[in-house]
């Protein structure tokens, strides 16, 4: 699933903004987080624990001022395809 959030405020760094977005949009317990690159942009990858004890993986990313999240449950049959998609992900202007 891809979600579009409100634009990043100009007075916040990407790191500050994505840290805020991750806390405001997903209240599930955090398992891990890591700063990565997605489509050439700095992104925050967060793994959370779902109520059924499965894990979800969310990439929070800013392109220009636009903010997005890309999320999938790690236990789904399409997880490998999702990983391939992310490896070729690019932004177009």
CA distances from 79 to 41, 54, 67, 75, 84 (A): 22, 13, 23, 7, 9
Q: Are 58 and 38 in contact (CB under 8 A)?
A: no
Terminal CA-CA length for the chain: 21
Mean pLDDT of the chain: 92
pLDDT of 13 reads 95
Half-sphere exposure of 28 (CA within 13 A, CB side): 17
Is the pLDDT at 68 greater than 90, yes or no?
Answer: yes
pLDDT of 24 reads 93
pTM value? 0.89
pLDDT of 19 reads 95
Average pLDDT over residues 44-51: 94
């Amino acid at each position: 699933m891809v979600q579009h959030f409100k634009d990043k405020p100009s007075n916040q760094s990407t790191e500050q903004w994505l840290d805020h977005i991750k806390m405001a949009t997903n209240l599930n317990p955090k398992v891990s987080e890591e700063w990565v690159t997605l489509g050439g942009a700095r992104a925050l990858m967060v793994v959370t624990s779902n109520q059924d004890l499965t894990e979800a993986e969310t990439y929070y990313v800013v392109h220009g001022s636009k903010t997005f999240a890309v999320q999938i449950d790690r236990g789904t049959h399409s997880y490998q395809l999702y990983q391939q998609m992310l490896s070729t992900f690019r932004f177009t202007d």
